[in-house]
């Protein structure tokens, strides 16, 4: 069984670390139809990192981290807890970006069970390939999802 990644999903893998890309492609190649998914984001530009950091933060908080005040959106919901806004696992690296965000397709943000089912499939695929990947709802990789309130259901990253 396999699902087909669309052109948009494929182009969003540009610049990814070859191991991360391998996991995504193999996960697609072995996914049953009910685990159809798409790639939301791979390598993130500095601009996008600043936009994300500005969400839920004031101009002063932004400037303290080198993010121009115009990115501040204090009323928006916070989306990142990075101590360094530019050190996202999604950033471009010489060896390729280490993180990718995936979502079950068609996307239903409220269907957490589907995100979990997809994550289990991706993590099992990575394990089979011998590539260490961590999920955004289990940062300490102990298999207990959301135990510390982790909410980054679409996020997968290589552990190096």
Q: Edge-to-edge strand order for the sheet containing 37-41?
A: 37-41, 99-104, 155-158, 133-135
Which residue's CB is nearer to Zn ion, number 28 or number 39? Answer: 39
Q: Answer yes or no whether residue 137 interacts with Zn ion by CB under 5 A.
A: no
DSSP sequence for 104-140: ESS--TT-HHHHHHHHHHHHHHHHHHT--EEETT-TT
Q: Answer yes or no whether residue 17 interacts with Zn ion by CB under 5 A.
A: no
Q: Answer yes or no whether residue 134 interacts with Zn ion by CB under 5 A.
A: no
Which residue's CB is nearer to Zn ion, number 59 or number 93? Answer: 93
Stretch that binds Zn ion, among 4-12, 107-115, 123-131, 148-156 (CB under 5 A): 148-156
Q: Answer yes or no whether residue 44 interacts with Zn ion by CB under 5 A.
A: no
Q: Answer yes or no whether residue 101 interacts with Zn ion by CB under 5 A.
A: yes
CB of 43 to Zn ion, least distance (A): 11
């Amino acid at each position: 069984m396999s699902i087909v990644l669309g052109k948009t999903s494929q182009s969003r893998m540009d610049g990814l670390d070859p191991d991360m890309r391998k996991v995504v492609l193999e996960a697609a190649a072995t996914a049953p139809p009910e685990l159809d998914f798409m790639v939301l984001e791979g390598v993130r530009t500095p601009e996008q990192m600043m936009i994300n950091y500005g969400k839920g933060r004031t101009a002063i908080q932004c400037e303290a981290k080198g993010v121009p005040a115009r990115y501040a959106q204090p009323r928006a919901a916070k989306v990142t807890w990075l101590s360094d806004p530019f050190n996202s696992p999604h950033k471009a690296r010489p060896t390729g970006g280490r993180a990718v965000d995936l979502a079950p397709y068609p996307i239903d943000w409220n269907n957490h069970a589907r995100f979990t089912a997809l994550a289990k499939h991706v993590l099992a695929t990575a394990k089979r390939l011998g590539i260490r990947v961590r999920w955004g709802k289990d940062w300490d990789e102990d298999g207990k999802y959301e135990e510390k309130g982790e909410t980054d259901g679409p996020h997968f990253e290589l552990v190096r």
